[in-house]
Amino acid sequence: MKKVLVLVLGLILSIALVGCNNDPLANAEKDYYGTGQFNGWDTVTEGKMVAIAKNDERVSSIKGELRGVEYLYLLDITLSAEDAGWGVTYKIDSVETVFNGNLTVKFIRTAIDDPDTRDWWAPDPASGEIVNLTPDTLYIPPFMEENVDGAGTWVDNPVALVAGHYYFVVAEFDGSRAMGLVTAPVV
């Protein structure tokens, strides 16, 4: 009887722990919007990110980068290969590259249910430094005021390295923030 009780208790604890990983990591006071050329650089309804659980399959490829995450948000986006009519140039690993404006992304944090009350755009000096969760798909300029050797500054736009379908991910940790573009399956 004692063994059965221990087994049942262990099963209940296991279910409880798994359940905790399935809860969306939502910020009760803030909303997050993915923005860029793809949606007109605004806090539009289609850009509102959804809170997801840390064990969401869509972010499994960056699970190791999410240790200690407090808030986790995702937006399904497609960044077009079409010409936006403008672009940005960054020197990355000593190579100067021109990126089409359609590849630019940022995110905006607002008061909950109030898209017009913006805390900040990110990256930006007000948001603090943004850590890159996916350097293989996203370039984030250095968090510095001066553009050193063409790498960009803290107010310049991050860019996808190539056009495509992505899960735009935003994460907040205790004392830091991060973003990434996880390659999504084409549907």
Chain centroid, CA 17 distance in Å: 25
Query: What's residue 77's pLDDT?
Result: 98
**Is the confidence at residue 8, as pLDDT, over 60?**
no
Per-residue pLDDT, averaged over 101-127, amounts to: 97
- Which pLDDT belongs to residue 1? 52
Assign 19 to helix, strand or coil.
Answer: helix
Nearest of 44, 99, 78 to residue 183 by alpha carbon: 78
Model confidence at 187, pLDDT cuts 50, 70, 90, reads confident
Tell me the β-bridge partners of 137: none
Residue 5 has pLDDT above 50, yes or no: no
Q: What is the pTM of this model?
A: 0.88
Domain boundaries defined on the chain: 24-183
pLDDT in tens, 129-140: 999 999 999 999
Structure letter (DSSP) for residue 62: G
Pairing mode of beta strands 138-139, 30-36: unpaired
Let me know the angle formed at the C-alpha of 38 by 150 and 152, rounded to the nearest 5 degrees. Answer: 10
pLDDT digits (tens, 9 = 90+) for 108-117: 999 999 999 9
pLDDT at 19: 45
Q: Is the pLDDT of residue 4 over 80?
A: no
Task: Give the residue carrying structure tokens 């089409």.
Answer: 100
At residue 13, does pLDDT exceed 50? no
Q: Is 137 strand, coil or helix?
A: coil
Which one, of 140, 100, 118, lies nearest residue 47 by Cα?
118
User: What SS3 class is residue 142?
Assistant: coil
